[in-house]
């Protein structure tokens, strides 16, 4: 019976139940909720130990009774911010994974600070693992082997992440940029300004033909579906293939 790292133990409520001293006035969930609320409203930068402590009405150092470090808090946040995965109903694997991926992306767009939170460890929280489980489960009747299923889930997660990053950085990030510089500074205009057609032939042709002028048209939902179908087609082809 291996010993769990402390964060993991806390995330899974594996702390010993009977304790000695004064009854704790908080629990990890309250702290996490407060931190998430701050991140939602004021951004990840505003999530400081002081701010979180103030939010739950406690001295900053009190948080360290529940969390080993700020990094741990962020790790827990990254899991707690995730809602339960969608129900399978009686969807085909393909339909299920399509909404699974879409919801992943929507989550990342609704809580963009999750994008800033680089996970330096693989997912180990209950909620993220639940999502993973459901994706694997959806593929269970397909004859894929474990590694293939796992990789498929990885690819879909990655796609949601990339798409969310791009969409968000062209939306909000673009506005930040535009605010910083005086003139009109849409992404496309910057590229037009800067690209030399000789060294960037394909890209500058594309820019000049207008693709990036208005950020709609390639940040649209249709484009997300396009890439998603690409991936699902690939998986489908793999399933149809005899063996590896």
Task: Cite the beta strand spans of the chain per DSSP E.
Answer: none
Least Å distance between CB 200 and a copy of itself? Answer: 4
Q: Which of 50, 140, 154, 162 binds DNA (CB under 7 A)?
A: 50
Q: Can you tell me which residue has the tokens 């879409």?
A: 102
From the list 44-52, 75-83, 100-108, 181-189, the region that binds DNA by CB under 7 A is: 44-52
Residue carrying structure tokens 């594996």:
14
Restricting to residues 95-114, name those near DNA by CB under 7 A: none
Residue from 13, 48, 140, 230 binding DNA (CB under 7 A): 48
Closest CA to 173 of 182, 185, 161, 183: 185
* DSSP string computed for 104-120: HHHHHHHSTHHHHS--S
- What number of chain residues touch DNA (CB under 7 A)? 28
Asked if 58 interacts with DNA (CB under 7 A), we say yes
For residue 25, state whether it binds DNA (rule: CB under 7 A). yes
| Calpha distance 234→142 (Å, rounded) | 14
CB of 49 to DNA, least distance (A): 4
What's the half-sphere exposure (Cβ side, CA atoms, 13 Å) at 231? 21
Q: Looking at beta carbons only, is 44 or 235 nearer to DNA?
A: 44
Q: Are 219 and 170 in contact (CB under 8 A)?
A: yes
Best CA proximity match to 120, nearest among 85, 67, 72, 83: 72
- Candidate segments 30-38, 53-61, 102-110, 198-206, binder of a copy of itself by CB under 8 A: 198-206
Contacting DNA within 60-99 (CB under 7 A):
60-62, 64-66, 69-71
**Binding of DNA at residue 122 (CB under 7 A)?**
no
């Amino acid at each position: 019976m291996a010993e769990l790292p402390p964060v993991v133990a806390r995330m899974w409520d594996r702390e010993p139940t009977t304790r000695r001293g004064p009854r704790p006035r908080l629990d990890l969930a309250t702290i996490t909720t407060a931190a998430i609320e701050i991140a939602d409203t004021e951004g990840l930068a505003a999530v400081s130990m002081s701010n979180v402590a103030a939010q739950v009405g406690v001295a900053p150092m009190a948080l360290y009774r529940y969390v080993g470090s700020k990094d741990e808090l962020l790790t827990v946040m990254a899991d707690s911010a995730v809602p339960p995965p969608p129900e399978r109903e009686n969807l085909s694997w393909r339909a299920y994974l399509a909404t699974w991926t879409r919801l992943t992306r929507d989550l990342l767009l609704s809580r963009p600070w999750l994008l800033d939170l680089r996970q330096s460890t693989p997912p180990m929280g209950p909620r993220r693992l639940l999502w993973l489980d459901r994706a694997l489960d959806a593929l269970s009747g397909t004859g894929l082997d474990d590694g293939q299923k796992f990789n498929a889930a990885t690819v879909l997660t990655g796609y949601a992440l990339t798409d969310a990053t791009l969409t968000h950085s062209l939306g909000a990030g673009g506005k930040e940029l535009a605010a910083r510089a005086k003139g009109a500074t849409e992404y496309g205009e910057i590229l037009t300004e800067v690209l030399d057609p000789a060294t960037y032939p394909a890209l500058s042709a594309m820019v000049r033909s207008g693709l990036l002028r208005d950020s709609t048209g390639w940040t649209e939902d249709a484009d997300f579906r396009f890439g998603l179908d690409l991936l699902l087609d690939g998986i489908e082809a793999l399933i149809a293939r005899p063996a590896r």
